[in-house]
Amino acid sequence: MEKKTRWARFCGWLLRKMGWTSDSGPIPEDKGIILGVPHTSFMDFVVSYLFYAQFGIPAYVMIKKEFFFWPLGPILKKLGGVPVDRSNATAMTKSLIDKMESVDRFHLAIAPEGTRKPTRKWKTGYHLIARTVGCPVYMGYFDWKTRHISVGKKVTLTDNAREDTDRIQALYEEMHLTGRCPEGYITH
């Protein structure tokens, strides 16, 4: 793990000051995908950023391109935001795969729900990215009720994205997590 900077220490301090407990460190692999569940508020990004930044390791998160206007856009990019065009899922997925394959280290956070609204059928793009790049997937969580956050446990993927995603949703259901906006989170 890299030497902690003042910024990393500040982010960890601020996260704790906000009442959050880190249940893990960052993922150990150089490349990986962390599912961010439940995603019900823009504040999920803030808490997740502070969590990962406290370790002094950059992490990236997909954010819809509409948020990348001046002056917010450059700030989001500096904080690890990757602008995505949700109207073209194929191009978005390909660009993320190309980016992950072109660098030595890339930890990518993805909200499988694909939106902050309640979604019964989660998206499977993370699966294609992980299988193509050959990186692991972790079941990250931020529970607003208990204020616990973690990269979660590593899950094994098969060749069937839909079945794997349904299985992951069932595992999240067993965790009884609460989103910042509880009405925005469903797992089945």
Question: Does the structure show a pLDDT above 60 at 1?
Answer: no
Mean pLDDT, to the nearest integer, of 116-144? 92
Give the global pTM. Answer: 0.91
Give the pLDDT of residue 3: 62
- Give the confidence band of 48 by pLDDT, cuts at 50, 70, 90: very high
Mean pLDDT of the chain: 91
Answer with the residue of higher pLDDT: 99 or 4. 99
C-alpha distances (whole Å) from 100 to each of 23, 52, 59, 108, 133 are 26, 18, 12, 9, 7
Domains, the chain, in order of start with CATH, read: 6-180 (3.40.1130.10)
Task: Encode pLDDT of 3-38 as tens digits.
Answer: 679 999 999 999 999 999 999 999 999 999 999 999
Task: Encode pLDDT of 149-175 as tens digits.
Answer: 999 999 999 999 999 999 999 999 999
Question: Does the structure show a pLDDT above 70 at 2?
Answer: no
Question: Does the structure show a pLDDT above 70 at 109?
Answer: yes
